[in-house]
Every structure is written in structure tokens, then in C-alpha cells.
């Protein structure tokens, strides 16, 4: 399959993920949504890896680095996005994800010191921050978004930029191809999130019979519960298991800078689905900030002049 097709599938799948998260939150709490997503994603890539007889990494150093990338690319963002979407719309959460290219530049400057950037790209990074401020609309009192919720989505999107740069810096030499790294990473994330979930449940056992007990204010209708579980299944199997296998393939074929530009399309898909399916609305400040952030992301993704890249 050409990488361009995989790239397009990623944009559709991850763009729809914000809709799936919002639907799953009707039945489950944010941690349960994140945990379910990771466990289902790990089961999906694990089953594919077993069927393909994939050999997982054997080096303890690789597994140590995978603990870091699992936190940055799975455990932390998959918890932060549901937490954010409890307070903001799925469309705005998708817009928060557009900060990834900005974070990628900053992470590359920190972790890949031999790589430099043009003034154009640095100005685009600054413009991205301006767009975020416009979305937050600090001059307004009533119409600005919930800053905690939107902030959670920004941190989640930044984790992606840092995580993929970390892989480029520390795991590029250890990539065995195919499903080896995505399966190992999601397996690591599943262990991490299981530990977090057990601790979380132990602290709330007085009103939660089990870690998967629905939220107290969940709708009683069986149809609503079935829809939420179906959304969680799509989030885990498609939005995590399949998507991470596709993302690693794109990363290998065209590199981290190009592969991270999928975030140009993700917020567009998220906004369209939020508006058309959920009836969500964006304020003029959110739309203006979205345009600025998306524009800065596009500029960041443009190739650097040779004079600004040192090998």
C-alpha cells in the first residue's frame, strides 16, 4: 500500500477518534476510555504480530526506551484527550492536536542538536503559539473555552511531537520493521495503563465495584451504552491498533517531519465530524486561532533549504 494511502487513512481514523472519545465518555470515565483504548490497541497489534510471526525487540535498552515512547505516544495523550473532552468539544480537542508540528520542531531542537531550522520555520512556531492564545481568547470572559480542558489537549498533542522525535533520536537504529515496534510499544503502554488503573480503582473502591464500572451519571438506555462501547472498540482497534501500525510505516518511508504533518488533516476531520455529527459550534476566536495554528503547521512541514540542514 503506498504511504500516501496510509497517510490518508491515518487522517480519517485519528480525526474520527475525537468523535469516538466523546461518545465513549457518555458511559465511561476518562481513565476508563484511555485504558480501554490502549488495551484494545495492544490486543489488535499483538494478534497481528502473532499471525505474522513478528519477532519483538530483545534488547533491554530498546525496551527501556519503549517505556518512554509508550508514555509520550500512548499512555499520557490517551488519558489527556478524554480528560480534555469532558470540558471542551471534540472539535476543539482536534484543534489542540494540531500543535504537534510545533512541538516536533521544539523537540527536534532539543533532542537532535545537529539539525537547525530556518527563520521561516521559527516564525511559524511563534505563529502557532499566537494561534493558541487566540483560541484561548483571554480578553473574553464568557465565550472562551475551558482553559484546563483545552490545555490538556495541547499537552496531549505536544506529547506526540516529543514522542516521535524521541523515536527518531533513540530507536531509529533498533527498528525491526513491520509490527515489531508498534506491538512492543502498545504492549508496554498496556502494562503502564493497567498499573495506573489498578491504583485509580483502589482509591475509589467505595463507589466503584470494578475498574470497568460505568460512570454514575451514565444514561440508563441500553442503546446509549451499546453505542458508547462500540465507539470505544473503534477507538481501540482502529484508532490505536491499526493506526499505530500505519503510522510507523509512514514514519519509516518518509521520516518524522513528513509523517507528523498528518496533524494538518486530523483537526479538519475532527472539526467536520464534531459540527456535522454532534452539532458542535466554534466561536470566531476558535476558528481564527485554528486557521493560524493550521497555517503554522503547514509552513513547518515545508522542506528546509539545504543551507539550514547540517548532516
> In this predicted model, what pLDDT tens digit does every residue of 285-308 receive, in sequence order?
999 999 999 888 888 877 766 554
Strands (E), the chain: none
**Residue 278 vs residues 20, 81, 91: alpha-carbon distances, Å:** 11, 17, 9
Q: What is the pLDDT of residues 81-131, one digit of tens each?
A: 999 999 999 999 999 998 888 888 888 888 887 777 788 888 989 998 999
- Return the pLDDT at 109: 85
Quote the percentage of the chain above a pLDDT of 90.
51
Q: What is the pLDDT of residues 203-222, one digit of tens each?
A: 988 888 899 998 888 877 77
Spatial distance between the Cα atoms of 219 and 238, rounded to a whole number of angstroms:
25
- Return the pLDDT at 300: 81
Which of the four pLDDT bands, split at 50, 70 and 90, describes residue 260?
low
Spatial distance between the Cα atoms of 228 and 238, rounded to a whole number of angstroms:
15
Alpha helices in the chain (DSSP H): 3-24, 30-51, 60-70, 76-85, 90-97, 100-111, 119-136, 147-170, 180-202, 222-236, 243-259, 266-278, 284-301
Lookup result for grid cell 490517551: 78
**Residue 84 vs residues 94, 173, 213: alpha-carbon distances, Å:** 11, 35, 21
User: Would you say 91 and 280 are in contact if contact means Cβ atoms under 8 Å apart?
Assistant: yes
* pLDDT higher than 70, residue 259: no
- Return the pLDDT at 306: 58
Spatial distance between the Cα atoms of 246 and 7, rounded to a whole number of angstroms:
8
* pLDDT higher than 70, residue 19: yes
Domain extent at residue 97:
3-308
- Return the pLDDT at 305: 62
* pLDDT higher than 50, residue 202: yes
User: Would you say 250 and 46 are in contact if contact means Cβ atoms under 8 Å apart?
Assistant: no
Total domains, the chain: 1
CA-closest candidate to residue 3, choices 250, 278, 298: 250
pTM (2 decimals)? 0.88
51 grid coordinates = 499471525
CA-closest candidate to residue 20, choices 81, 63, 64: 81
Give every CB contact of residue 203 below 8 A, 6+ residues apart in sequence. none
Amino acid at each position: 500500500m503506498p504511504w500516501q494511502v496510509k497517510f490518508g487513512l491515518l487522517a480519517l481514523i485519528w480525526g474520527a477518534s475525537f468523535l469516538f472519545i466523546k461518545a465513549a465518555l457518555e458511559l465511561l470515565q476518562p481513565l476508563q476510555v484511555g485504558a480501554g483504548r490502549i488495551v484494545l490497541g495492544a490486543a489488535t497489534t499483538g494478534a497481528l504480530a502473532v499471525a505474522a510471526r513478528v519477532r519483538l525487540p530483545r534488547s533491554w535498552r530498546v525496551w527501556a526506551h519503549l517505556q518512554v515512547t509508550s508514555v509520550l505516544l500512548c499512555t499520557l495523550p490517551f488519558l489527556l484527550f478524554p480528560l480534555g473532552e469532558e470540558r471542551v468539544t471534540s472539535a476543539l480537542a482536534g484543534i489542540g492536536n494540531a500543535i504537534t508540528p510545533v512541538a516536533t520542531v521544539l523537540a527536534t531542537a532539543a533532542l537532535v542538536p545537529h539539525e537547525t531550522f530556518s527563520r521561516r520555520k521559527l516564525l511559524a512556531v511563534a505563529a502557532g503559539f499566537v494561534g493558541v492564545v487566540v483560541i484561548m481568547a483571554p480578553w473574553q470572559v464568557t465565550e472562551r473555552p475551558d482553559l484546563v480542558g483545552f490545555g490538556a489537549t495541547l499537552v496531549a498533542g505536544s506529547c506526540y511531537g516529543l514522542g516521535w522525535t524521541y523515536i527518531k533520536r533513540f530507536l531509529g537504529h533498533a527498528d525491526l520493521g513491520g509490527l515489531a515496534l508498534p506491538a512492543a510499544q502498545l504492549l508496554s503502554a498496556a502494562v503502564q495503563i493497567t498499573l495506573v488503573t489498578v491504583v485509580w480503582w483502589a482509591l475509589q473502591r467505595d463507589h466503584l465495584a470494578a475498574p470497568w464500572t460505568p460512570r454514575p451519571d451514565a444514561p440508563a438506555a441500553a442503546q446509549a451504552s451499546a453505542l458508547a462501547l462500540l465507539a470505544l472498540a473503534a477507538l481501540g482497534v482502529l484508532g490505536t491498533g491499526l493506526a499505530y501500525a500505519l503510522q510507523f510505516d509512514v514514519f519509516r518511508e518518509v521520516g518524522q517531519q513528513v509523517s507528523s504533518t498528518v496533524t494538518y488533516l486530523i483537526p479538519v476531520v475532527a472539526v467536520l465530524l464534531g459540527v456535522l455529527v454532534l452539532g458542535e459550534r466554534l466561536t470566531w476566536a476558535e476558528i481564527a486561532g485554528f486557521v493560524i495554528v493550521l497555517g503554522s503547521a503547514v509552513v513547518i512541514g515545508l522542506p528546509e533549504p539545504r543551507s539550514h540542514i547540517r548532516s
